[in-house]
Chains A and B, each alone.
Chain A
Amino acid sequence: MQTSKVKPGELTTEGEPTHNNVIRSGEIVCQEVTKHFPENSRPAVDHVSFKVAAGDLVVLLGPSGCGKTTLLKMINRLYEPDQGQIWIGKEDIQTLPVNQLRRQIGYAIQQVGLFPHMTIWRNIAIVPRLLGWDEEKINMRCNLLLELVGLSPTYLGRYPRQLSGGEQQRVGLARALAADPQILLMDEPFAAVDAINRERLQSELLIIHRKLHKTILFVTHDVEEAFRLADKIIILKDGQLIQYGTPVEIVVKPENEFVAELVGSNNLLRKLSLFDVQSLLEAKQYERHNSFSKASFTSIQPQENLRTALSMLLESGAEQLHVVDNKGKSHGVITFQDLHRLLFEQFTSPAAELE
């Protein structure tokens, strides 16, 4: 069991019988992984290598047919690679019993795939029951999980058909988390949900990720979604890994024209949204005794992003924003000129400052 992370005790299941735990780490390493489907001439996944640190939320991003789903499905061995190896922690997954492995990796998919003839309780309880948990523990777990995904416990007795699309996807997420896996694989889970619910689900996933520190591999073709969620992004094209980095790195230093176009490196607003006010202050090495006009007093918090800062500047018509944290402490000011300089002149590499 991995214990170094800070986890709210109630949401984890420490003290599980470890004899049938085949996964003890959330770290995933892919080494020269290749998968070739007989019906296609070029490989679906072509010599892909990367390492995902335990607890990271990594998004696999790329156009359809780039191999992202194939890659994901090799992690829980729904597909077997033709070449290369995949490691979880110190274990080569090929050496692990396949159903044991899958029971310890959460799996959520776009179509949710809830079992229509089972109640929500039975749906969530599938993996815990496969693992032989007792009824009482499963009940506690189900209640906790529903609360975590924002559904009332009265849902436990209902059937999937009685739930809306968004609610079903929440149950799908709860089901994936049921046995407290270290790793969560999510294959475009929010793609079929309407825009309002999608945004809500994204925020909730981020909150859950912050709470539980699961390693999450998240497949999407939606660039906005990728940038909202990712600690790091893996960009795939034609089965090959094009770039692997933080959202800021990818926007500021796209590997090639394809990446630049995909993520909209020329999109100024996207760029601004990736930096927070604090990083700009650091970048311009604000002098504390700088005078600012007290007449126009629009304030912004340091953790807000610069896209918000820009819109506040435009809205208020003020020349500058006063940076004040939630304790009321002043950190300085930022101006329209600063934003312009960040985008076009670049202070001292802002990406470096951020990371």
Chain B
Amino acid sequence: MSYFFSNFSYVMQLFGQHLRMTLIVLFISLLISIPLGILVVRVRWLHGPVLSILGVIYTIPSLSLFVLLLPLFGLGLKPAIIALVAYAQLLLVRNWVIGLTSVDKAVLDAARGMGMSSWQRFIQIEFPLALPMLLAGTRLATLSTIGIGTIAAFINAGGLGVLLFQGVITSNYDKIVTGSIAVSALAIATNYLLRFFERRADLVIRGDAK
């Protein structure tokens, strides 16, 4: 652990880069997946094709996807973010769609019958009731982004993966351990935090929130 203490500010800088990359990916991913999920639920026939395509993307090994994007976007953060956003879509869209479609039909029938517009139904009923599933998807997608994000260091996107790659190349065992522990700490802390929001949202829809 001597590496960690003697290079504290460098490790923190990489940690910051990793966190920033994850947050950017998360933000863009949600911006795409929320409307995409709603579209898939409203236009039923899109469900199969969209989820198949996202599934195929998810199975592309990350290293090869990063490399594939190189000729288009060059080195750096940009291709990394594009690839990570593409990966996150499957987990986000799938969970969000499950959340939206599992809202009790009787509840929606009552809402329609009482004269709520489709926008009011979405904001007041569908969104809050599907929120726990969306948050679960967000948590999984975030963890997956943190993990795959380490590999993005290979194309100069920075982040904690830098420590791992450097450690492997220079056979610096201490560096590898430091990098691994830092990534794990980030993932565990994120998991804990998002889990908290997920549970809250779940209590709310079950009518147990205080």
A residues apposed to B, CB below 8 Å: 73, 76, 78, 98-104, 107, 109-119, 126-127, 130, 158-162, 172, 175, 185
The complex places the Cα of A261 from the Cα of B104 at a distance, in Å, of 37
User: A73 CA to B109 CA in the complex, in Å?
Assistant: 10
Given A100-B115, A103-B115, does the pair A113, B109 have CB atoms closer than 8 Å?
A: yes
B70 interface residue, CB < 8 Å from A?
no
- Nearest A residue to B110, CB-CB: A113
Taking chain A's interface residues, is the majority helix, strand, or loop, or is none over half, making it mixed?
Answer: mixed
Report Cα–Cα, A103/B104, bound state, in Å.
21
User: Is B115 in contact with A127, judged by CB distance below 8 angstroms?
Assistant: yes
Chain B residue nearest in CB terms to A117: B205
Cβ–Cβ < 8 Å partners of A73 in chain B: 113
Pairs across A and B, CB under 8 Å, 28 listed:
A78-B112, A78-B113, A98-B115, A99-B115, A99-B116, A99-B117, A101-B115, A102-B112, A102-B114, A102-B115, A110-B106, A111-B104, A113-B106, A113-B108, A113-B109, A113-B110, A115-B107, A115-B110, A115-B111, A115-B124, A116-B104, A116-B107, A116-B206, A126-B111, A130-B115, A130-B120, A159-B207, A175-B114
- Asked if A107 and B114 sit within 8 Å, CB to CB, the answer is yes
Given the contacts A112-B106, A113-B109, A116-B129, A126 and B207 also touching, CB distance less than 8 Å: no
Residues of B near A112 (CB, < 8 A) are 106, 110
**A172 CA / B113 CA spacing, docked (Å):** 12
Contact A159 B208 (CB under 8 A): yes
Report the Cα distance A100→B115, complex, angstroms: 7
In the assembled complex, B32 has its CB within 8 A of some CB on chain A: no
Q: Tell me, yes or no, whether B54 is within 8 Å of chain A by CB.
A: no
Number of interface residues of B (CB under 8 A): 23
B35 to nearest A CB, angstroms?
23
Across-interface contacts of B115 in A (CB, < 8 A) = 98-104, 127, 130
Give chain A nearest CB distance to B158 CB in angstroms: 41
**In the bound complex, how far is the Cα of B109 from the Cα of A203, in angstroms?**
26
Given contacts A99-B115, A102-B115, 8 further A-B contacts (CB under 8 A): A78-B109, A78-B112, A109-B110, A113-B109, A113-B111, A126-B114, A161-B207, A175-B114
A116 touches B205 (CB 8 A): yes
Also in contact, A116 and B207, with CB within 8 A (given A109-B106, A111-B106, A130-B120): yes
Most buried by B among A110, A111, A119, A160: A111
Task: Name B residues whose Cβ lies closer than 8 Å to a Cβ of A.
Answer: 104, 106-117, 120, 124-125, 128-129, 204-208
Name the 4 nearest CB pairs between A and B, nearest first: A159-B207, A113-B110, A102-B115, A111-B106
Find out whether the CB atom of B207 lies under 8 angstroms from the CB atom of A113.
no
User: Are the C-beta atoms of A160 and B207 separated by less than 8 Å?
Assistant: yes
Residues of A within 8 A of B104 (CB): 111, 113, 116
A101–B205 Cα gap in the complex (Å)? 29
Residue of A98, A101, A111, A117 with most chain B CB atoms under a 10 A cut-off: A117
Residues of A within 8 A of B205 (CB): 116-117
Q: What is the bound-complex CA distance between A242 and B208, given in angstroms?
A: 48
User: Do B113 and A117 touch (CB < 8 A)?
Assistant: no
Which residues of B lie under 8 Å from residue A161 when comparing CB positions?
A: 206-208
In the complex, chain B residues whose CB is within 8 Å of the CB of A103: 114-115
Cα(A102)–Cα(B114), bound, Å: 5
Chain B residues within 8 Å of A100, by CB: 115
How many angstroms between the C-alpha atoms of A99 and B121 in the bound complex? 12
- Is A107 a contact of B207 with CB atoms below 8 Å? no
Q: How far is the CB of B102 from chain A (nearest CB, A)?
A: 12
Separation of A99 and B118 alpha carbons in the complex (Å) = 10
Q: A115 vs B107: C-alpha distance in the bound complex, in angstroms?
A: 6
Residues on the B chain within 8 Å of A109, using CB: 106, 109-110, 113
Rounded to whole angstroms, the CA-CA distance of A109 and B106 in the bound complex is 8
- Whether the Cβ atoms of B207 and A102 lie closer than 8 Å is no
